[in-house]
Amino acid sequence: MRKYKLGFISDEDIFKHVKNTVTQYRRSINLREFNKNIIDPIKLTFDAKIYGQTMQQTIESECIRQIDKTNNNRIGYFHQYMFKYAGNGWEVPDNGDKGGFDVLNDELHIYVEMKNKHNTMNRSSSSDTYVKMQNKILKDDKATCMLVETIAKRSQNIVWRLTINENGRTESYSHERIRRVSMDKFYEIVFGEKDAFFRLCKALPDILDDVIAEDESAKLKNTVYDELDKKNFFRSLYLLAFKTYEGFDNF
């Protein structure tokens, strides 16, 4: 293991955390899994022709798209559980415990809901989260609640101003201790270093290289294209969706 020199987390802990995330990643797909929800071979054909790809490239892209749906949650794990290594009173409680917050520090009275991207919450989930935070600051007059966004519109630590339509009327809410915070600013709060998040991002490719070098099974295993019949490729592809349709037995 090389030296990552992050300072706010040990080389051993960051390696272990990245490895735990990689272990949870979906890293394989076969033809049965690929067609679990019945793929659209017509769209795949359009994509290949319009984008100048081979069918193998197009199928591999679709495989990655399917796998990506699962792995978005794994990245959420990476961001959230990073803070269990912070010490100094920072906790990552079990799901649903401690008011349902993702990260918290009872000593500092800081309670955090984490989201990957600024536009992933709809109006209903935004209002539910805001109400949860309002209830927390009513019960704890020292509490600060934060909506922490990995990919915010900008680097920020600002009051969260929420507008809700209620019974045909528009209501606006804000409170100095209910805030929207970008991930870089939250790292600064937790670790006390302005560029801590930057240093993690810069080191991440090297850490992943080391994790994958230690365990080759971490790489993607994709057998979808290999399982299709190459002698009559388009017949094999189209029958995934249309094997009971009229005429397709003579494709």
**pLDDT given at position 103:** 97
Say whether both 115 and 184 belong to one domain: yes
CB 196 within 8 A of CB 188: yes
Task: Looking at the structure, tell me whether residues 123 and 190 fall in a common domain.
Answer: yes
Q: Which CB contacts under 8 angstroms, 24+ apart, belong to 38-42?
A: 38/240, 38/241, 39/240, 39/241, 40/241, 41/234, 41/237, 41/238, 41/240, 41/241, 41/242
Looking at the fold, whether 103 and 20 belong to one and the same domain comes out as: no
Q: Which pLDDT does position 122 carry in this prediction? A: 77
Instruction: State residue 38's pLDDT score.
Output: 93
Q: CA dist 147 to 18, 185, 186, 200, Å? A: 24, 12, 10, 21
Judge if 73 and 108 occupy the same domain: no
Q: Is residue 225 part of a domain?
A: yes
Residues 188 and 212 in one domain: no
Residue that terminates a domain, selected from 151, 171, 196: 196
Identify the pLDDT of residue 216: 78
Residue 162 falls within a domain, yes or no?
A: yes
Identify the domain boundary among 178, 196, 214.
196
Kindly state whether residue 2 falls inside one of the protein's structural domains: no
> Comparing C-alpha atoms, which of 88, 122, 123 is closest to residue 104?
88
Range of the domain at 122: 90-196
pLDDT on residue 36: 92
Cα separation, 152 vs 146, in Å, equals: 13
Half-sphere exposure of 171 (CA within 13 A, CB side): 9
pLDDT in tens, the chain (251 residues): 789 999 999 999 999 999 999 999 988 999 999 999 899 999 999 999 999 999 999 999 999 999 987 788 889 999 999 999 999 999 999 876 778 899 999 999 999 999 988 677 777 788 899 999 999 999 999 999 999 999 999 999 999 999 877 677 778 889 999 999 999 999 999 999 999 999 999 999 999 999 999 987 778 899 999 999 999 999 999 999 999 999 998 88
pTM above 0.95, yes or no: no
Residue at 32 is within a domain: yes
Looking at the structure, do residues 145 and 216 belong to the same domain, yes or no? no
- Structural domains in the chain (count): 2
174 and 96 in a common domain: yes
> Is 227 found in the same domain as 184?
no
Assigned domain for 42 exists: yes
Determine how many CB atoms are found less than 10 A away from the CB of residue 228.
20
Q: How many CA atoms lie within 13 Å of 42's alpha carbon, on the beta-carbon side?
A: 2
**Same domain? 94 vs 192:** yes
41 falls within a domain: yes
Q: Does 4 map to a domain?
A: no
pLDDT value of position 94: 86
- Least Cα distance to 73 among 115, 32, 125 occurs for 115
Question: 3-state class of 112 per DSSP?
Answer: strand
Question: Distance between CA atoms of 177 and 243, rounded to whole angstroms?
Answer: 59
User: Are 101 and 184 within one domain?
Assistant: yes
Coil, strand, or helix at residue 170?
strand
- The reply to whether 95 and 171 lie within a common domain is yes
- Residues 111, 189, single domain; the answer is yes
Query: In whole angstroms, what is the distance from residue 137 CA to residue 178 CA?
Result: 8
